Amino acid sequence: MNNYISRRGFGRLCAGLAVAALATETRSARAADLPPVEESAAQAQALGYRHDAAQVDRAKFANYVEGSTCANCQLFQGAAADWGPCAIFPGVAVAAKGWCSAYVKKA
Ligand code: SF4
């Protein structure tokens, strides 16, 4: 068995890795390019979503716990970035320092 990779095989491997890296980068860029959720959107209003958790209506959303933000919610799919995808709001991004009543503390 030949354990060496041919020059042509090496070229194909490099090309494949480059395509994979580009695809990953494009996916990340798309997540970052999601438009921000509108606080005035019906679903956002129903869930009490605010871009800034400090502005949550605590009288209306008594389940809010101090320190809870999208960044430490199980449903936040972004890194610790400013904005990221959320399973509750498909197609838009939520603010890392935001909050809504569907909050689930990250395990
Ligand atoms: Fe933020 Fe979690 Fe509500 Fe999504 S479910 S908006 S991440 S608090």
101 Cα nearest atom in ligand 1: 3
How far is ligand 1, taken at its centre, from the CA of residue 22, in Å? Answer: 29
Beta-strand runs (E) in the chain: 83-86, 89-95
Total of domains in the chain? 2
Which residues span the domain enclosing 47? 35-107
Residue with CA closest to ligand 1 atom 4 = 86
Same domain, 43 and 23: no
Same domain, 42 and 87: yes
How far is ligand 1, taken at its centre, from the CA of residue 95, in Å? Answer: 9
Same domain, 46 and 2: no
Q: Does the pLDDT at position 10 exceed 60?
A: no
Query: What does the pLDDT look like over 12-66, one tens digit per residue?
Result: 533 443 433 444 444 444 456 899 999 999 999 999 999 999 999 999 999 999 9
Specify the amino acid at residue 65: V
69 Cα nearest atom in ligand 1: 8
CA distance 107 to 103: 12
3-class DSSP state of 28:
helix
The CATH number covering residue 65 comes to 4.10.490.10
Same domain, 39 and 28: no
Q: What is the pTM of this model?
A: 0.72
70 Cα nearest atom in ligand 1: 1
Same domain, 8 and 54: no
Same domain, 39 and 29: no
Using a 6 Å CB cutoff, which residues line ligand 1?
49, 70, 73, 75-76, 86, 88, 94, 98-100, 102-103
Same domain, 77 and 106: yes
